């Protein structure tokens, strides 16, 4: 089985949406990526850090999904990374209320020996120095390196972020972040500028308005499935990244054509994530539900039109 190496936060989140509010619940970029990638036939491991306050049952849940958690370091006496956010009424935008790095501040990642030759590396959202350190520990060039990041790191660690962006094949960011990173309002111009920073493929996520994949002069669009119930968008971007990287790791094919399928898989899995608070929906999601919704995706986007010569 192909190997998928995941790095990112494993966290406590406190979330407010127009539909309710949670106290500290399980969150973190790597958590969502791992859960999403667990729907593919891949061997995956998470490199991350938590504090002593992190419940063992959360780690057990991830292990039960087949994810190797042995490289999630538990810092004695330390506190787990904490993020809190409040969504606006449109659920497409949010304010970060608090970010406490805690144990993440001094984190030095250690890639397990059996994952230094991973086929696909998914650099989830966290400090770009940690993302770089993971790349430095690899002993063989992966088939694909994917990076996800957010405005927080653009604001506080831009030079380090630009250094790691240079080294990746694919970057996935949302529309606002693409505009911030490139200084361009047009997403076409933004993607072209981000290409020049290193990544051959640029994926721009637009929340409920889908995702765009840019490569050379080519562009592909995947819609988001119109859903009856959207409860909490937290983790949708990471779930997308997990679906994208998990599918590529399983299929071993990095053609543009297959990357299109990867963003459909990412969008499909993300559509489940938003249906309940936190990780709840991803934890109980079944494989047949994923396949059924894939059919809906196909029906949503397929049309036959005769083009006049
Ligand atoms: P998303 O909704 O996909 O952007 O991801 C939300 C998840 O990202 C939450 O579970 C948070 O724990 C995590 N998160 C929030 N801020 C950061 C940050 N600055 N670095 C890493 N992870 C973060």
| pLDDT (0 to 100) of residue 146 | 98
Residue 229, pLDDT above cutoff 90: no
For 35, the 3-state DSSP assignment is: helix
User: Does residue 185 carry a pLDDT above 90?
Assistant: yes
Please indicate, yes or no, if residue 309 is contained in any of the structural domains: no
The pTM score is 0.96
Q: Which of 11, 15, 29, 177 to mutate to test the pocket of ligand 1 (most atoms within 8 A of CB)?
A: 29
| CA–CA dist 57, 55 (Å, integer) | 5
pLDDT of residue 90: 84
Across the chain, mean pLDDT equals 95
With cut-offs at 50, 70 and 90, classify the pLDDT of residue 154. very high
Atom of ligand 1 minimally distant from the CA of 153 = 19
Return the residue whose CA atom lies nearest to atom 19 of ligand 1.
152
pLDDT of residue 226: 87
Which atom of ligand 1 has the smallest separation from the CA of 234? 2
Q: Read off the pLDDT of each residue in 32-60 and give the average, rounded to a whole number.
A: 98
Shortest CA distance to 172 belongs to which of 93, 108, 259? 259
pLDDT, tens digit (0-9, with 9 covering 90-100), for 54-102: 999 999 999 999 999 999 999 999 999 999 999 998 888 889 999 999 9
Q: What percent of the chain has pLDDT over 70?
A: 100
Measured distance CA(186)–CA(205) in Å, rounded = 14
pLDDT over threshold 90, residue 236: yes
* DSSP letter, residue 113: G
Ligand 1 — pocket residues by CB below 6 A? 9, 11, 13, 27-29, 83, 99, 125-126, 150, 152, 234-238
Judged against a pLDDT cut of 80, whether residue 180 lies above it is answered with: yes
The Cα 232–Cα 220 span in angstroms is: 27
Q: Is residue 306 part of a domain?
A: no
Q: Is the pLDDT of residue 176 over 80?
A: yes
Split into its structural domains, the chain has a count of 1
Does residue 307 lie in a domain region?
Answer: no
3-state helix, strand, coil in the chain (%, to 5): 40, 25, 35
Residue 22, SS3?
coil
Bridge pairing between strands 120-123 and 3-7: parallel
Query: How many residues belong to the chain?
Result: 309
Average pLDDT for 245-272: 95
**Ligand 1, atom nearest to 239 Cα:** 3
CB 232 within 8 A of CB 276: yes
Q: Cβ distance 107 to 130 under 8 Å?
A: yes
Gap from CA of 217 to ligand 1 centroid (Å): 31
Residue 176 falls within a domain, yes or no? yes
Is residue 9 within 8 A of residue 28, CB to CB? The reply is yes
Backbone angles phi, psi at 96, to 5 degrees: -80, 125
Which residues pair with residue 205 across a beta bridge? 174, 211
- Band (103; pLDDT cuts 50, 70, 90): very high
- CA-nearest of 200, 182, 224 to 92 is 224
The pLDDT, as a whole number, for residue 301 is: 82
Three-state secondary-structure class, residue 199: coil
In a domain, 194, yes or no: yes
Task: Answer whether residue 39 is part of any domain.
Answer: yes
The CATH number assigned to the domain holding 240 equals: 3.40.1190.20
Q: Which of 81, 83, 62, 82 lies closest to 71 in space, CA to CA? A: 62
Residue 7 in domain: yes
pLDDT at 86: 96
Higher pLDDT, 301 or 190: 190
Domain of residue 236 covers 3-301
Q: Are the beta carbons of 39 and 290 closer than 8 angstroms?
A: yes
**N-to-C CA span, the chain:** 47
Look at residue 171 and tell me if it is in a domain.
yes
pLDDT in tens, 268-291: 999 999 999 999 999 999 999 999
């Amino acid at each position: 089985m192909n190997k998928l190496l995941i790095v990112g936060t494993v966290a406590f989140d406190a979330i407010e949406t127009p539909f309710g509010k949670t106290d500290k619940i399980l969150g973190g970029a790597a958590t969502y990526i791992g859960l999403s990638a667990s729907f593919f036939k891949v061997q995956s491991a998470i490199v991350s850090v938590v504090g002593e306050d992190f419940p063992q049952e959360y780690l057990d849940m991830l292990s039960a999904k087949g994810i190797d958690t042995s490289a999630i370091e538990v810092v004695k006496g330390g506190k787990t990374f904490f993020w809190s956010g409040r969504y606006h009424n449109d659920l497409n935008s949010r304010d970060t209320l608090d970010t406490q790095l805690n144990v993440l501040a001094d984190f030095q990642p250690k890639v397990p020996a059996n994952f230094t030759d991973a086929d696909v590396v998914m650099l989830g959202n966290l400090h770009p120095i940690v993302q770089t350190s993971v790349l430095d520990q690899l002993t063989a060039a992966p088939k694909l390196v994917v990076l996800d990041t957010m405005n927080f790191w653009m604001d506080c660690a831009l030079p380090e972020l630009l250094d790691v962006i240079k080294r990746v094949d694919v970057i996935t960011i949302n529309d606002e972040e693409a505009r911030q990173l490139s200084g361009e309002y047009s997403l076409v111009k933004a993607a072209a500028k981000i290409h020049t920073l290193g990544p051959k493929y640029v994926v721009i996520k637009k929340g409920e308005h889908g995702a765009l994949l840019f490569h050379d002069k080519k562009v592909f669009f995947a819609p988001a499935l119109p859903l009856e119930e959207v409860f909490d968008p937290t983790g949708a971007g990471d779930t997308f990244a997990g679906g994208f990287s998990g599918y590529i790791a399983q299929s071993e094919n990095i053609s543009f054509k297959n990357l299109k399928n990867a963003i459909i898989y990412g969008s499909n899995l993300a559509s489940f994530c938003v249906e309940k608070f936190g990780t709840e929906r991803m934890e109980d999601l079944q494989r047949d539900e994923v396949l059924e919704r894939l059919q809906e995706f196909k029906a949503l986007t397929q049309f036959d039109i005769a083009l006049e010569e």
